Chains A and B, each alone.
Chain A
Amino acid sequence: MGRLVARRALHAVPVLLVVTFGVFAVAAASPFDPVKAYAGTAALGADQETLDRLRENLGVDRPFTARWWDWLTGAVTGDLGHSAVMRQPVAEVIGERLVWSTLLCAVAFTAAVLLGTLLGVLAARRPGSPTDRTVTSLAYTLEAAPVFWIALLAIWLFALKLDVLPAGGLTDTASEQVTAQQVLRHVLLPAGVLAVSQLPWFTLYVRQGVGDALAEDPVRGARARGLAERTVLLGHALRSGLLPVLTLIGSRVPELITGALLVETVFSWPGIAAATVTAATAVDFPLLAALTTLATAAVLAGNLLADLLYGLTDPRVKLSEM
Chain B
Amino acid sequence: MTRPGPLLTVRGLSVRFLMPGGRRIAAVTDARFEVAPGECLALIGESGCGKSVLASALLGLLPANTETAGSARLGDLDLLTAGERTLARTVRGRRIGLIPQSPAAHLTPLRTVRSQLEETLAELTGVRGRAALREAAERAAQRAAFPPDHLDRHPHQLSGGLAQRAATALALAGDPPLLLADEPTTGLDRPLVERTVDELRRHIEADRDRALLMITHDLAAAERIADRVAVMYAGRIVELADAAAFFGTPGPRHPYSRGLLDALPDRAFTPIPGLPPELGDLPAGCAFAPRCPRADTSCTELPPLAGSVACHHPVRPPVPAATPENARA
Contact = CB atoms under 8 A, between A and B. Distances in A.
Interface of A: 217-218, 220-229, 231, 235-236, 239-240, 243, 313-316
Contacts, number: 83
A66 B88 CA distance: 72
Q: Is the interface of A mostly helix, strand, loop or mixed?
A: helix
A239 B110 contact: yes
Query: Interface size class for chain B?
Result: 20 to 34
A218 B107 contact: yes
30 contacts: A218-B106, A218-B109, A220-B100, A221-B100, A221-B105, A222-B106, A222-B108, A222-B116, A223-B92, A224-B93, A225-B124, A226-B89, A226-B93, A226-B120, A226-B123, A226-B174, A227-B93, A227-B119, A227-B120, A228-B88, A228-B89, A231-B123, A235-B108, A235-B111, A235-B119, A236-B111, A240-B110, A243-B110, A314-B109, A315-B109
A23 B231 CA distance: 75
B61 interface: yes
A223 B61 contact: yes
B92 A315 contact: no
Contacts of A223: 61, 88, 92
Contacts of B124: 225-226
Given A227-B123, A235-B119, A315-B110, A217 B105 contact: yes
B107 to A, nearest CB: 6
A314 to B, nearest CB: 7
B94 interface: yes
Contacts of A226: 88-89, 91-94, 120, 123-124, 174
B200 to A, nearest CB: 17
A181 to B, nearest CB: 40
Interface in B61-80: 61
A224 B109 contact: no
B94 A224 contact: no
A214 to B, nearest CB: 11
B109 A225 contact: no
A224 B58 CA distance: 11
A139 to B, nearest CB: 24
A243 B170 CA distance: 25
Nearest to A222: B108
B98 interface: yes
B37 to A, nearest CB: 20
B186 interface: no
A45 to B, nearest CB: 70
Contacts of A235: 108, 111, 119
A315 B108 CA distance: 11
B102 interface: yes
Contacts of A236: 108, 111
Given A224-B98, A226-B174, A228-B123, 8 more contacts: A224-B106, A225-B120, A225-B170, A226-B88, A226-B89, A235-B119, A236-B108, A239-B108
Nearest to A229: B88
Contacts of B98: 224-225
A220 B62 CA distance: 10
Contacts of B119: 227, 231, 235
B59 interface: yes
Contacts of A228: 88-89, 123
